[in-house]
A and B are shown apart, each in its own frame.
Chain A
Amino acid sequence: MIPLSAYLVFSAILFCIGLYGVLTRKNAIVVLMSIDIMLNAANVNFVAFSAYSSPFDLSGQVFAALSIAIAAAEVAVGLAILLVVYRVKGRMNVRIFRELRW
């Protein structure tokens, strides 16, 4: 049996990869993808905890499924925004999206 800590370490690595992507990549689409990686790290945690703490209760799995659906919706909205920004700016670099500052 694979111990719970293995899932949690995996989830932490996944979260850190996503975080690294969010903080360092220039391309807005990659940033969006990284956010989804972080989200999925959380989903792994949900499922792992649920499976280990109460194996016959699927609430963690259901929650993860719900979260995936919401993430899909969020990505749809995010991509739509990025599409519009791309039309205005002609580029996909997040560091030039700086209109909202002092």
Chain B
Amino acid sequence: MMWVELAWLIPVIPLVAFPFILFFGKSIPKGGGLLAIVAVGAAFFLSLFVVVDVSQGNLPVHGGGEGEPAGGGEAVHAYESSMVWTPVPGPESPLEVGVHIDNLTCLMLIVVSLIGWLVVIYSVGYMAHEEGKPRYYAEISLFIGVMLGLVVANNFLMVFIFWELVGLCSYLLIGFWYKKPEAAAAAKKAFLVTRVGDILFLVGIIAIWNYFGTLNFGAIQEQLKTMLGEGALDVQMLTTMALLVFGGAVGKSAQFPLHVWLPDAMEGPTTVSALIHAATMVNAGVYLVARSYFLFEHAPDALLVVAWIGGITAFMAASMALVSNDIKRVLAYSTVSQLGYMMLALGAAGYSASMFHLQNHAFFKALLFLGAGSVIHSMGTNDMREMGGLGKKMRLTSLTMLVGVLAITGVVPLSGFWSKDEIIVSVFHSGNWPLFLLAVVTALLTAFYMFRLWFMTFSGKPRSKEVDHAHESPCIMTVPLLVLAAFSISTGFIGTPFWPRFQEFINWGHHGGESFGATSGMLMAVSLVVALTGALVAYLLYYRRAASPDRAVSSGAGRAVHTLLTQKYYMDHIYYWFAERVVYGFTRVCDAFDIRVIDGAVNSMSDGAVRAGGRWRRSVSGNVQHYAVGIVIGLCLLILLLKFALPPLDELLGGWPGLSRWRWWEGWGW
């Protein structure tokens, strides 16, 4: 019995906890929180055992298919187990339900379950005074459960099902305070915007099914390998499929131009934001691209699109973060920006760099969000202009936040430095100079806005009286912060150029990136200098107050740029315009068609029937003699018909034995 054979239980445990918490939450301690902690914790420890199994190559040997040891030559890379869900007519393979555990899955399992667990623990403190706790814990354990399901799924269809469930959970949790109109609107926005990507993903799945006849990752990979060997690969088709799948990822991972939902998603509880941003929802998109990387690998055009979308997103989001005063919104933009980084790395063939950044980002972004949650919990506001000087009141929060800020900025030797540097190296090696510049400028902006956030919140003088009442959060909230801070410091060390253990793991044994050399040393220095420059500018502007940033944006070009950024590049306006003019216009045309033509046809038929009935009922006079006249006229007509219009009676009634027995009409001449 190996742990990896129990991998299917990992998503099932939180999923089973969901109805229990929902229905019996009131009688469980902490409004169902305890059960959520136990369920997600169990999923985490199970994931941990599975990962230990996989990293030691301790996988069960099963007949045929993937993971065959091949006589000891090739190492076993993946564990796969599935059962047929429903057979499909035709030569295509049946739809199946199964788990696929490889190194990428392991990474995601740990990230999702560990961060999910810490967030649930933190929630016990953060949500202590909220209404509707059973609903919250039920939905959050469902959220983590479906995300784990998405990660272990072994085919596109299952991924899609969990993908939609993740979207549903995000809708439910962003709209947790559904009585607040903004929260309800944000939930709807998140659901609808990601739905645009989901449609593309679904079309992509159908295209893949048509082309390969299977949705299983392993089977598609094998087919691609043989097609590549025979030179029978349709690159254009492959590019289309890859881009459609990427369309889904654009929606879920909030990439340009579908990034608009993520900043609004801040209306949910901060813990939910942390979960969405660090562990579950947005990582699903990056994970999907990484999981279906075999499609992208041989489609250079698709990779280029991924890289450009990622680069543009990274830069745009970072620039919008510069001007936001809402602490959570800054973090939201930084998430969008960092996800852009991951996409950029994937597009620049930096597969391991992207996954490395995903892992590190998950930890420091969870840390930053939970830290921000701790600040909001004690301040009761999100607005950084009303904060300031919180460092003394909330020492633990401010220090752990500083760790997160340093990590995301990319200061050596914290985790963000190693992965961001590796992304920059891979973009550099792809030889695309505009993208390289975008990446470096984004790194500069990131350093600036993150330090701006920290200085505005924790340093200087208090700017409102709420700061005086601020206090450090309870243990149950600070301990997860400390754990995450420890991870934010340390997770980078497993993937340094000097000891690339992570890259070896994720690349299945062979080291994908190149070893440490002069170029990468120089790039390391560049990224460090860039990060420190950004931090220094923020220090001068927001700590020393060497110059007033407000004056710079009060007139001229600065003002124009500031307006552009605060208006979020007018993306929302464009969407509103599109929705109002194009979509709504089209809707009105459809509505008119519905009312005039479809309803019109039905209504006129019923009106006609009613009117005809109104006329006809006059004939029912109640006078017996009128009826008698009717009978006489009818009789006359029948006789005339028989005489002149109808065929002879012999023909008419001959076939009816009862009527034709005596041939009573014979001799009538009829």
Residues of A that sit less than 8 Å from B by CB: 19, 22-24, 31, 94-95, 97-102
Q: How far is the CB of B617 from chain A (nearest CB, A)?
A: 4
Considering only CB atoms, which chain B residue lies closest to A35 in the complex? Answer: B628
In the complex, 8 of the A-B residue pairs with CB atoms within 8 angstroms, ordered by the A residue number, are A22-B625, A94-B623, A95-B623, A97-B622, A98-B622, A101-B620, A101-B621, A101-B622
* Nearest-Cβ distance from residue A101 to partner chain B, whole angstroms: 3
Chain B nearest CB: distance from A43 CB in Å? 19
| B interface: dominant SS | helix
Q: Mark B608-643, 1 if CB is under 8 A from A, else 0.
A: 000000000110111111001100100000000000
Q: Is there contact, CB below 8 Å, between A23 and B622?
A: no
Q: Which of B618, B624, B629, B632 contacts A94 (CB 8 A)?
A: B624
CA distance A102 to B626 in the complex (A): 14
**Interface pair B617/A102, CB less than 8 Å apart:** yes
Assembly CA distance A23 to B632 (angstroms): 10
Chain B interface category by residue count: 10 to 19
> Distance (Å) between the CB of B422 and the closest chain A CB?
89
A23 to B618, CA, bound (A): 19
- In the complex, which residues of chain A have a beta carbon less than 8 angstroms from the beta carbon of B629? 23
Which residue of chain B is the closest to A97 with respect to CB atoms?
B624
Q: Check A23 against B625 for contact (C-beta < 8 Å).
A: yes
The 10 closest A-B CB pairs, nearest first, are: A101-B622, A98-B622, A102-B617, A102-B620, A101-B620, A100-B622, A101-B621, A22-B628, A23-B625, A98-B623
Shortest Cβ gap from B614 to chain A (Å): 10
Determine if A98 and B621 form an interchain contact, defined as CB atoms under 8 angstroms apart. Answer: yes
Q: Which residue of B lies closest to A100 (CB)?
A: B622
Are B625 and A102 in touch, CB under 8 angstroms?
A: no
Are the CB atoms of B628 and A23 closer together than 8 Å? Answer: yes
Task: Determine the chain B residues whose CB is within 8 A of the CB of A101 once the complex forms.
Answer: 620-623
Closest CB-CB distance, A74 to chain B, in whole Å? 15
A19's nearest neighbour on chain B, judged by CB, is B632
Q: Is the CB of A102 within 8 A of B623?
A: no
Q: A19-B632, A23-B629 are in contact. Are A102 and B624 (CB under 8 A)?
A: no
Segment 587-621 of B: residues with Cβ below 8 Å from A: 617-618, 620-621
- What is the chain A residue whose CB lies nearest that of B614? A102
B668 to chain A, nearest CB (A): 14
Cβ A102 vs Cβ B618 within 8 A: yes
Q: Which of B617, B620, B623 has the most CB of A within 10 A?
A: B623
Nearest B residue to A28, CB-CB: B624
Tell me which residues across on chain A come within 8 A of B625, comparing CB atoms: 22-24, 31, 94-95
- A81 CB → nearest B CB, Å: 12
Measured between alpha carbons, how far is A94 from B621 in the docked complex, in Å? 12
Contacts A22-B625, A97-B622, A102-B620 known; list 18 others, CB within 8 Å.
A19-B632, A23-B625, A23-B628, A23-B629, A23-B632, A24-B625, A94-B623, A94-B624, A94-B625, A95-B623, A95-B625, A97-B624, A98-B621, A98-B623, A99-B622, A101-B622, A102-B617, A102-B622
| A100-B617 Cα distance, complex, nearest whole Å | 12
**Smallest Cβ distance from A17 to chain B, in angstroms?**
14
Q: Return chain A residues, CB-CB under 8 Å to B628.
A: 22-23
**For residue A98, which residues in chain B have a CB less than 8 angstroms away from its CB?**
621-623
Give the distance in Å from the alpha carbon of A95 to the alpha carbon of B620 in the complex: 13
Chain B min CB distance to A35 (Å): 10
Q: Which residue of A lies closest to B613 (CB)?
A: A102
Give B616's nearest chain A residue, CB to CB.
A102
On chain B, the residues within 8 Å of A100 by CB distance are 622
Q: Which residues in chain B, 196-247, are within 8 Å of chain A measured between CB atoms?
A: none
* Cα distance, A31 to B628, chains bound together (Å): 11
Q: How far is the CA of A6 from the CA of B6 in the complex (A)?
A: 107
Q: Which residue of B lies closest to A94 (CB)?
A: B624
- A31 CB contacts on chain B under 8 angstroms: 625
Q: Most chain-A Cβ atoms within 10 A of its Cβ — which of B617, B621, B625?
A: B625
> When chains A and B are docked, how far (Å) is the Cα of A18 from the Cα of B162?
86
Per the bound structure, the CA–CA distance linking A31 and B618 in Å amounts to 24
Which residues from chain B contact A95 at a C-beta distance below 8 Å?
A: 623, 625
Q: How far is the CB of A33 from chain B (nearest CB, A)?
A: 15
CA distance A98 to B620 in the complex (A): 10
Which of A23, A94, A101 counts the most chain B CB atoms within 10 A? A101
Hey, which chain B residues are within 8 Å of A99, CB to CB? Answer: 622
Task: State in angstroms the CA–CA spacing of A19 and B633 once bound together.
Answer: 12
Point out the residues of chain B lying under 8 angstroms from A23, CB to CB. 625, 628-629, 632
- In angstroms, Cα B621 to Cα A76, docked, is 27
Alpha-carbon gap, A100 to B627, bound state (A): 12
CA distance A24 to B629 in the complex (A): 10
